[in-house]
Amino acid sequence: MSFIEELSAVAQRSKCVNYLLWSAFAFGIVKLTTLFLRVLALVFDLFILTPTNYAKYGAGKGFYCVVTGASDGIGKEFARQMAQRKFNLILVSRTLSKLEALQKELTKEYGVDVKVLAFDASEDSSVNYVELQNICEKLPVTVLINNVGQSHSIPVPFLETEEKELRNIITINNTATLMITQSVAPTIVKNAATTGQRGLILTMGSFGGLIPTPLLATYSGSKSFLQGWSSALAGELKEKNVDVELILSYLVTSAMSKVKRSSAMIPNPKCFVRSTLGSVGRRCGAQERFATMTPFWSHALYHFVIEETLGVYSKSVNSINYCFHKSIRQRALRKAERMSKSQ
């Protein structure tokens, strides 16, 4: 090869190297720009934008909101804060006495109409769904909050999960949620078409569905299912003037989580519901997901960091999650053993 040919080859290689370097640089700029925009959106969603205006869903105009799992914890707080927004209510839960007590309390305090329906979602009875549908068809319902849910009593290996617990989790979290939505959503769609008010369907998800969670495998799978279902439903109902969103939550003080003390990472139901209702229409920490929000500020930051670093499906996150729940299981078993000995 002559000297000129060698120079030509070197020049060609230099062009290729320069092309690759510029391509890498351009790709890096795009990635940094999109990351900056996601961070900016996160900050605006959590700390700057004003709370959602519920006038578009019929607040104060005689419209109704259906809340499931309404007698305790997060569901009870959803009912209270929707009553504060002057929505009439249809409250659904298992225990009639608790529903009636809440009915009297909210009617007296906020002057709204409150109807109650008691049934056990784990029974998956068609009679219950028909009764709920019949109630809703006679009323101007524009909002449904799917809050009813169940987790494991303690973290447990899947192969040791009792059949009754497994079936109850799937029935309550999935089958009942879908059937309740099928019972209520047609009325919401009809009212959105005839009244000019938008409709809204909120469903409680979980970090257990966001991140595959060993020792809570059945619960984790049930909540992951709700992610796919809710996002698909959002696509279907968007053109019908109905907003559909999945709510992602880390721990909240409640009977289901068995956590009693609140902290920066673990809000009480009042704080969690306030952030949720104030964030409808925004993604907050769930920047990469359609029709999904992680509304509480610390949960949102936690979600965002995991998604932008290791990733929710990574082996490292799975292992950390396993160790965390293994520790919870060991403590729960030791506590049960102590209580057994003291009896």
Tokens found for residue 163: 């059949």
Query: Among 138, 147, 239, which residue's Cα sits nearest to residue 201?
Result: 147
Q: Write the CA distances from 333 to 114, 132, 152, 168, 212, integer angstroms.
A: 42, 40, 14, 22, 23
Q: Is 88 left (phi over 0), alpha (psi -120 to 50) or beta?
A: beta
Rg of the chain over all Cα atoms, to the nearest angstrom: 24
User: Distances from the Cα of 132 to the Cαs of 118, 174, 244, 250, 252, in angstroms?
Assistant: 10, 17, 20, 30, 28
How far does CA 300 lie from the centroid of its chain? 12
Going from the C-alpha of 29 to that of each of 26, 94, 267, 298, the distances in angstroms are 5, 54, 37, 28
14 is in an annotated binding site: no
Our answer to whether residue 313 is catalytic in this structure is: no
User: How far apart are the C-alpha atoms of 13 and 21, rounded to whole Å?
Assistant: 12
Measured between alpha carbons, how far is 154 from 253 in angstroms, rounded to an integer?
Answer: 16
The C-alpha atoms of residue 138 and residue 121 are separated, in whole angstroms, by 22
Query: Which residue is catalytic, options 57, 64, 219, 250?
Result: 219
Distance CA 127, CA 138 (A): 17
Cross-strand partners of 254: 259
Q: Residues with catalytic annotation? A: 219
Residues tagged in the binding site annotation for substrate: 206
